[in-house]
Amino acid sequence: MIEIHNIHKSFNGKVVLDGISGVFQTGKTNLLLGASGTGKSVLLKCIVGLIKPDLGSVTFDGTYFTNNKLDIRQEIRRKIGMLFQGSALFDSMNVEENVEFPLMMLTDMSRQERMDRVNFCLQRVGLEGTNKKMPAELSGGMKKRVGIARAIAPNCTYLFCDEPNSGLDPLTALKIDRLIKEITEEYNITTIVVTHDMNSVIEIGDNIMFLYEGKKLWEGTSNNILDSDVPELNEFIFANRLMRDAKKVEEEEERQKTP
Amino acid sequence: MLQNFGKYLLFLKSLVTRGEPLKIIFKRTIDEAILIGINSIFIVALVSTFIGAVSTVQVSYNMVNALIPRSTIGFIVREMVILELAPTITSIVLAGKVGSSIAGGLGTMKITEQVDALEVMGINSTSYLVLPKILAALLVFPMLVIIAMFLGLMGGYIAGTVTGQLTAQEYISGLRIDFIPYNVVFALIKSFIFAFLISSISSYKGYYTSGGALEVGAAGTAAVTHSVIAVLIADFVSAQMLL
């Protein structure tokens, strides 16, 4: 479980995060939802320690992280797997080396053990047989899969995904979303996904936090998001015609049920 | 500017605090050394050979007094090559070749979040990425400077004898006049200083790149410009202090 408390962050006087608190549950896919520029990625980077918040704290399973001693922060970071927006695969390494990298750096595994784990992770994300391909030879969806394989390779306890399906076609995006959800439940890890994609919200949103202009305006699940009474959230959700239609169908069904 | 210098010093400090295991640093240093050395040897050989050749021709052109022995040309070329041309010109050439490559590589890694990926894994990205580049430069630059010295003197020999400016005997005896071994040591000390300046400044410029492709290009340009200025200042200071 990851807890954040009163996170504030400003850049050159512009407030990006304004006192955000919340809890991200283990074994659940937690979504940070919001339009572009609302501070989702900054919040994610504050949680993993890539950006230091001006105020506030982050706790990983009861261990204080934000301003703790370096070795404790490092210890926590070694349990973190992260999928970046652009995948962030190491250009100079092939698929196998990318997935092997955290194992080589963070564990005492032998070469054979590392290779077994690499092959297992690649198989888990559906990329068996691509070991020797370079990142430049992969499609966007394959890069995301390698990114997920690299993130889960060292048995991470916390998985962070920054817009995992950006730039992907709807079908591939759906596959990536489902893969993230399956992995979260299978390994009982705490997953936080930054997204502005309503398909992801409906598909995998166990716990959703909606951000608007640096503030948390709403929190709930994919089951009750369509019933929210927050105007900013409704405006965000129903900007999409499909969602408007879905809402109409839902309302129609409700009307028919009502005697 | 002072703020930048302070940031540069903190950057250097981060190379050694919470460093990565020596085994990994050693392996990466060797990889980087091969990359810097192999990729630079041709340009260093070309530049140093021609500089030696041109120096011989130009010194000979200015040597109009019949009372001055022709072997003096070899002596002057030797002093120029060993003291200045081999270490400084080689370093300036390497600032362009290696410096831009370091800044471009790190800058690209930075903007594509590869550096963040290392940090999230709990790996000290400066120690893992930058320290091996600096150590490799410290290892390889002196070797390249020695090669440049040799080829510079050889270039002078070939140019002098082929053009008939002086005989092989005169050139070689000139090379041997009042030879001071310390001058070679001085050149190697300079090459260490230049190696450190070029690799660390270029790494600093690349590491703190933010934005996109345009900024990576700008970081490469800034790395070369700043490295060359630093090399020239260090050249003067070291000559003043060590000679």
| Of residues A206, A247, A196, A203, the one with CA closest to residue A226 | A247
Q: How do A158-162 and A80-83 pair as beta strands? A: parallel
The reply to whether residue B122 touches residue A50, judged by beta carbons under 8 angstroms, is: no
Name the pLDDT band for B86 (thresholds 50, 70, 90): very high
Residue to test with chain B: of A46, A51, A82, most B Cβ within 10 A: A82
pLDDT tens digits for range B146-184: 999 999 999 999 999 999 888 999 999 999 999 999 999
d(CA B239, CA A226): 75
- Distance CA(A17)–CA(B120), nearest Å, equals 21
Quick one: pLDDT at residue A176? 86
pLDDT tens digit sequence for A153-163: 988 999 999 98
Mean pLDDT of chain B: 93
Taking residue B89's Cβ as centre, other Cβ atoms within 10 Å add up to 19
In contact, B92 and B196? CB cutoff 8 Å:
no
Lowest-pLDDT range of A23-32, A229-238, B52-61: A229-238
pLDDT value for A259: 66
Half-sphere exposure of A49 (CA within 13 A, CB side): 28
Q: Which of B113, B117, B122 sits opposite A74 (nearest CB)?
A: B122
Say yes or no: A70 contacts chain B, CB-CB below 8 A.
yes
pLDDT in tens, A2-39: 999 999 999 988 999 999 999 999 999 999 998 888 89
What is the value of ipTM here, to two decimals? 0.85
Q: How far apart are CA A211 and CA B28, in angstroms?
A: 42
Checking if the pLDDT of B40 tops 70, the result is yes
Contact B116 A91 (CB under 8 A): no
pLDDT for res A256: 82
pLDDT tens digits, A127-153: 888 999 999 999 888 998 899 999 989
Q: Which amino acid is at B141?
A: F
User: Which token pair is B64?
Assistant: 């109009």
Whether A240 shows a pLDDT value over 80: the answer reads: no
CATH 3.40.50.300 domain span(s) along chain A: 1-79+157-229
Where are the domains positioned within chain B? 21-242
CA B66 to chain centre: 38
Checking if the pLDDT of B210 tops 80, the result is yes
Alpha-helix runs per DSSP H in chain B: 2-16, 22-62, 71-80, 90-94, 100-111, 114-120, 125, 131-162, 168-176, 181-207, 213-242
Predicted local confidence at residue A87, as pLDDT: 87
Which structure tokens are listed for B172? 């070689």
Q: What is the pLDDT of residue A106?
A: 86
Per the CB < 8 A criterion, the answer to whether A32 and A193 are in contact is yes
Torsion (CA) B81, B82, B86, B88 in degrees, nearest 10: -100
Q: Which residues of A touch B13 (CB under 8 A)?
A: none
Neighboring chain A residues of B108 at a CB cutoff of 8 Å? 91
CA distances from B169 to B57, B67, B173, B175 (A): 16, 18, 6, 10
CA atoms within 13 A on the CB side of A225: 30
Give A86's contacts in chain B (Cβ within 8 Å). Answer: 112-113
Question: Which has more pLDDT, A71 or B118?
Answer: B118
Q: Which of residues 5-64 of A touch B (CB under 8 A)?
A: 45, 48-50
Interface contact B121-A105, CB threshold 8 A: yes
Query: Which residues on chain B are in Cβ contact (under 8 Å) with A102?
Result: 121
* β-bridge mates for residue A220, sequence order: A208
The CATH number of domain A1-79+157-229, selected from 3.40.50.300, 3.30.300.30, 3.30.470.30, 3.40.50.720: 3.40.50.300
